[in-house]
Amino acid sequence: MTPAERSPEQYLQWVRWLLIAVLLVPMGQDVLSGAALTVDGWLGLWCFALAVQLVAYSPWPRAEHRRLSLHLLCDIALWNGVVWLTGGATNPFAALLLIPLVLAFLLLPWPWAALLLIASIAGQLVQLMAVSGTHLGQGAMGGHFQAMVAGFVIAALLLALTLLYLRRQLHQRDLDLQRLRETQLRDEQLLAVGTAAAQLTHEMATPVQSIGLLLEEVELALAPADRQVTETERQLIRQQLARIQGLLADWRLIAEDVRARRVQALPLDQLIQSVRQLLSITRPGEPVEWGEMEGLAGYCVRADRTLMPAILSLLNNALDAGGSVRVSGYCSEGLWRLDIDNTGRPLTPEQRARLGAECLPSDDGFGLGALVSYATLERFGGRVYWSGDDRSTRTRLELPIQECFEGD
């Protein structure tokens, strides 16, 4: 087992074995001096230390924090016994009792660590009361001993608060690093998807141009009578080719905007109108109910050309789920909120939590549309939330807004 794999309990066991060996020294001195070994002296403390060590090797209790709490509590009692036999509250080395508290506040949940703090302070108070009943506890020395115990209590409390603060900061840092790793993984996935999309777009441009040239050659080769018969078919083919060429041109503009990080102010009312027009072209006859759009006039969002495809992707996902779809929006507290409600196939709570954060396999794909939309809106300071129940799902889009000016 490497040092990195050793648990804190193993280090505590080594310290106890060292203490058990050290306790043999005063026991040997008592034997050599002819003093009787009593259970309330070094012999009793040695037996207690050995019993604590044997208990530490047992698997009970199985809960790790409970087992470690029990072992540290035994260590606090053991070290208090050592201090007791070496002067009690008069022993200046009582500050070593802070070591188990450091381990407690570093390794245990704070309620269990607080219990160990109370036990350690209680042990010091017991030793102070024992000293107060002797002649050493009278007069100026009594005040000195009280100050020593008070200093221990203050040091223990400050140590506990400091360690709790550091643990909270470390936990927050770990959460930030975890979110950073998730964001990096998602960006790598999006980069791979974007690279593949750019390659496919480049490859698709050549056959589209070739189809256009072949169509022209076919038109020249046909007889005049055949041309009249196939005019309708040729027009449909040309419309689809023009649409594909338009999409390729839009893709090049979008890629240029992303490369140059070029954003512009998009009026919300015009944005919604463009989305509705494109949706009517791409998904004609779909059951989409457009609700009220409150307070959109005079407000803009700063984004590039990728915003509209991201919104359309969310709408397409809602339509693909089946059922009816209702879209509504409003502006509030500096944000534009767009709600997409659909009564089709509902999402499970696990899917709602993971959707948009990672590639989520589904019956119709891999969740890339939601992933790309989420990352796109996040680039503009926005977010996407998914909520719902067993009957419906709500997709909420949020984007920061600003007032539109003449120069925008």
CA 79 to chain centre: 40
Give the whole-angstrom CA distance, residue 231 versus residue 182.
54
What tens digit of pLDDT does each residue of 165-219 get? 998 998 899 888 887 877 776 666 555 555 555 655 656 666 667 777 777 776 6
Report, in this order, helix, strand and coil percent for the chain, each rounded to 5: 70, 10, 20
User: Residue 274: is its pLDDT beyond 70?
Assistant: yes
| Residue 37 DSSP label | P
What is the CA angle 78-83-88, rounded to 5? 135
145 pLDDT band (50/70/90 cuts)? confident
Mean pLDDT of the region 236-251: 72
pLDDT of residue 392: 81
Higher model confidence: residue 135 or residue 245? 245
Higher model confidence: residue 300 or residue 287? 300
Residue with tokens 């959109």: 296
User: Residue 352: is its pLDDT beyond 70?
Assistant: no
pLDDT of residue 317: 81
What tens digit of pLDDT does each residue of 299-317 get? 899 887 778 888 888 888 8
User: Residue 248: is its pLDDT beyond 80?
Assistant: no
Mean pLDDT of the region 396-407: 82
Share of the chain above pLDDT 90, in %: 3
Burial class (CB in 10 A: 0-12, 13-18, 19+), 389: exposed
What tens digit of pLDDT does each residue of 34-71 get? 776 666 678 888 888 888 888 777 777 666 778 888 88
pLDDT of residue 169: 92
Is the domain spanning 264-403 CATH 3.40.50.720? The answer is: no
The residue among 41, 113, 136 whose CA lies nearest residue 84 is: 41
User: Residue 365: is its pLDDT beyond 50?
Assistant: no
User: Residue 408: is its pLDDT beyond 60?
Assistant: no
Higher model confidence: residue 290 or residue 145? 290
User: Among 145-154, 158-167, 361-370, which range has the highest average pLDDT?
Assistant: 158-167
Question: Is the overall model pTM greater than 0.75, yes or no?
Answer: no
Burial class (CB in 10 A: 0-12, 13-18, 19+), 194: middle
* Averaged pLDDT score across all residues of the chain: 76
User: Residue 1: is its pLDDT beyond 50?
Assistant: no
User: Residue 220: is its pLDDT beyond 50?
Assistant: yes
Residue with tokens 């109910």: 289
